[in-house]
Amino acid sequence: MITINPSDKTPIFEQICKCVCRDIAVGTLREGDRLPSARELAKMLTLNPNTVAKAYGMLERDGIIYSVQGKGCFVAKHEGKANEKLTENFRSAVREALDAGADPEELITVVKELSLRYQQNKRSE
């Protein structure tokens, strides 16, 4: 499922990319699965088709999906690329925090705290 939060400051095309990557990492999307066409998705989410096209273009450039003329876009062999892309964001956030002078122990505490809270949310759903 691709969901967009318009009030989120991250560009919409990037939100789409992340959703697709996440679905691949989680297993909701598997190798060879067909993504909704750009037009289709744009209509579903009431977005500008160009925005969806841009997102698909980024994903294709990164080798996460591939497009077939006249047929649509499909999930490529992942080889962990989608996962890499996701953790890369995390890695850069860690680097940024360290540059800002954060204590490694403090970061680990934050991870533990948030993952605990996350699991509780999941359980209560």
What is the contact surface with a copy of itself in residues (CB under 8 A)? 6-7, 9, 11, 18, 21-22, 25-26, 61, 66, 68-69, 71, 74, 76, 83, 86-87, 89-102, 104, 106-108, 110-112, 114-115, 118
How many helices (H) does the chain have, and how many strands (E)? 5, 3
Single out the residue of 33, 40, 96, 106 in contact with DNA (rule: CB under 7 A). Answer: 40
Single out the residue of 2, 13, 59, 64 in contact with DNA (rule: CB under 7 A). Answer: 13
Q: Is there a contact between 25 and 82 (Cβ–Cβ < 8 Å)?
A: yes
* Residue 104 CB partners (closer than 8 Å, separation 6+): 98
Report CA Rg, the chain.
17
Block residue for tokens 């037009």: 39
Minimal distance in Å, beta carbon 79 to DNA? Answer: 21
| Residues at the interface with DNA (CB under 7 A) | 11-14, 35, 37-40, 47-51, 53-54, 56-57, 60, 67-73
